[in-house]
Amino acid sequence: MSSSPKVLFGFHAVGVRIKTAPQSVFEVFFDVSRRDARMRQFVDRTKEAGIRLIESDGLRLAKMCGSHGHQGVVARVDALAQVKSLDELLEQLEAGSDEPPLLLVLDGVTDPHNLGACLRVADGAGAHAVIAPKDHAAGINATVAKVASGAAETMPYFMVTNLARTLGELKERNIWCIGTSDDAPKTIYDVKLTGPVALVLGAEGEGMRQLTRKTCDELVSIPMRGAVESLNVSVASGVCLYEALRQRTG
């Protein structure tokens, strides 16, 4: 599993880390020129958590995180100790959970913004993990963490050497692998998502690779009523995951 970034930025990403694992935050740098209510509240919470605050300026913060989207807040953090492998997570789910696994598999999503948005929606819908291939896929970096708004801290993200083999292993564990493609005749609303399920989505341009497509148990589409052929991968992830959640809680 890829480790958390050493630098987090933005109110949400840093705020979630302070709330969920304050001991892992070394220090927080903030832009002293920002004196609005949001910043004051953030500074108060950081102090309450006993974390060292360091006065800084926008330029220095931008250099630290390599982005201007820091909102005046950057934290230096330790990598979180989370489940170490996909196998470990699946064992845990099989042993102790009354909830069947819900996994999001991304076959080659390379845009950090898309990965961040996928992690965020996976977290929102209660998925247990996001899986991607090691090659030709975005890893967790500070931009992903910012876009994920805290979900990069909470959502296990496993990058695997051979995605088709991993799908095979999921199938051996009786996890039903559902691929998504805009040309599939069956829709996401026609399939049962209440059991152990892995939802497999493709890359921004090309969609799923042939081998990934062939390895899935079945393929489904999301209805497209207008002129465009397909949705952004994070939006498609949201539609599929929330349909699973609807079925599981309905």
Ligand X SMILES: C[S@@+](CC[C@H](N)C(=O)[O-])C[C@H]1O[C@@H](n2cnc3c(N)ncnc32)[C@H](O)[C@@H]1O
Question: Position 11: which residue type?
Answer: F
The residue count for binding ligand X (CB under 6 A) is 15
Judged by CB under 6 A, does residue 221 bind ligand X?
A: yes
- Of 62 and 231, the one with the shorter C-beta distance to ligand X is 231
Give me the helices (H) in 53-136, please. Answer: 58-65, 86-96, 112-125
Contacts to ligand X from residues 182-211, by CB under 6 A: 182, 201-202, 204, 207-208
User: Contacting ligand X (CB under 6 A), which of 61, 77, 125, 222?
Assistant: 222
Instruction: Give the number of other Cβ atoms within 10 Å of residue 28's Cβ.
Output: 25
Percentage helix, strand, coil, to 5, in the chain? 40, 20, 35
222 is in an annotated binding site: yes
In the complex, what is the shortest distance from the CB of residue 85 to ligand X, in angstroms, rounded to a whole number? 25
d(CA 216, CA 125): 22
Contacts to ligand X from residues 230-249, by CB under 6 A: 230-231, 233, 236
d(CA 166, CA 37): 47
**Cβ atoms 233, 203 nearer than 8 A:** yes
User: Contacting ligand X (CB under 6 A), which of 181, 193, 198, 216?
Assistant: 181
Return the range that interacts with ligand X (CB under 6 A); candidates 134-142, 143-151, 159-167, 224-232.
224-232
- Of 46 and 221, the one with the shorter C-beta distance to ligand X is 221
Within a 13 Å sphere around the CA of 69, how many CA atoms are in the beta-carbon half?
A: 14
Kind plus residue range of the DSSP H or E element containing 219: strand 218-220
231 is in an annotated binding site: yes
Return the range that interacts with ligand X (CB under 6 A); candidates 59-67, 79-87, 88-96, 229-237.
229-237
In the complex, what is the shortest distance from the CB of residue 125 to ligand X, in angstroms, rounded to a whole number? 15
- Of 93 and 222, the one with the shorter C-beta distance to ligand X is 222
Return the range that interacts with ligand X (CB under 6 A); candidates 86-94, 153-161, 180-188, 210-218.
180-188
- Of 205 and 250, the one with the shorter C-beta distance to ligand X is 205
Write the burial class of residue 228 (CB in 10 Å: 0-12 exposed, 13-18 middle, 19+ buried).
exposed
**Cβ atoms 211, 204 nearer than 8 A:** no
Selection from 78, 71, 79 nearest residue 33 by Cα: 71
- Of 204 and 217, the one with the shorter C-beta distance to ligand X is 204
**Cβ atoms 236, 143 nearer than 8 A:** no
Q: Output the known binding site for S-adenosyl-L-methionine.
A: 202, 222, 231
Site residues for ligand X per CB under 6 A: 180-182, 201-202, 204, 207-208, 221-222, 224, 230-231, 233, 236
Q: Output the known binding site.
A: 202, 222, 231
